[in-house]
Amino acid sequence: MIINLPNILTIGRILMTPFFIICLFYDHPWAKSWALFIFAVASITDAYDGYLARKNDQVTEAGKFLDPLADKILVSSAFISFAVMGVVEYWMVALIIFRDLFVTGLRIVMSHKGFIMITSTIAKAKTIIQISIIIFILLFLGLKALNLEPLKFILHLIVQYHFIYVLTLITTIFTVITGIAYLTTNRGAIKQFLTANQ
């Protein structure tokens, strides 16, 4: 594997994931805030590594493989952790992870065989929405753990009106829709791939 700055950032994002999970479950008033900080830094590297690779002509096959994998590891770890904590529903997490892993796996296999998959704008918006809901949940958990009196009313409203459930449901529906749209957009390439491997 070619070691360059974009790939280092990608690998760093993978290595940050265990620390993110540890902080998320650690019993300390500031632990959830630490988890939020780690996730935010990892998300920034997600945007920056691809930009650097394209800008400096450092796009590599290893980077193409590791970048989406690192994204899925980080995002999936967050959603699974939320489900274990009872913050979001398991079925929502299952749909989100199935869609992401299926599409990522299909893209990797087809790319290995020389077939190019088109990533639509709506699919890129999906990633932004997923990261946004994760940050919202982490912010909620962090503020709740700190138990700050001025914020108790706001946190109570979030719980009372099921904001997290509604936002995660919207994220789940949008994620599934983008998966269907992705398969539809690339149906020609998928058909050629299946025909070539019969």
Q: Where are the alpha helices (DSSP H) in the chain?
A: 5-25, 31-55, 61-84, 90-112, 121-146, 152-160, 163-185, 187-196
In a domain, residue 198? The reply is no
In a domain, residue 196? The reply is no
**What is the arithmetic mean of pLDDT over 156-164?**
96
In a domain, residue 195? The reply is no
Binned at pLDDT 50, 70 and 90, residue 86 comes out as very high
In a domain, residue 197? The reply is no
The whole-number pLDDT of residue 198 equals: 66
Give the integer Cα–Cα distance in Å for 122 and 24. 30
The whole-number pLDDT of residue 95 equals: 97
166 exposed, middle or buried (CB, 10 Å; 0-12, 13-18, 19+)? exposed
- 41-45, 47-51, 89-93: least confidently modelled range: 47-51
pLDDT at 36 over 90: yes
Q: Which residues of 72-87 are buried (b: 16+ CB within 10 A; e: fewer)?
A: bbbbbbbbbbbbeeeb
Q: Full-prediction pTM beyond 0.95?
A: no
In a domain, residue 38? The reply is yes
Number of compact structural domains in the chain: 1
In a domain, residue 139? The reply is yes
CATH number at residue 182: 1.20.120.1760
In a domain, residue 103? The reply is yes
The whole-number pLDDT of residue 135 equals: 97
pLDDT at 2 over 70: no
Q: For residue 41, give its domain range.
A: 5-190
In a domain, residue 86? The reply is yes
DSSP state of 150: G
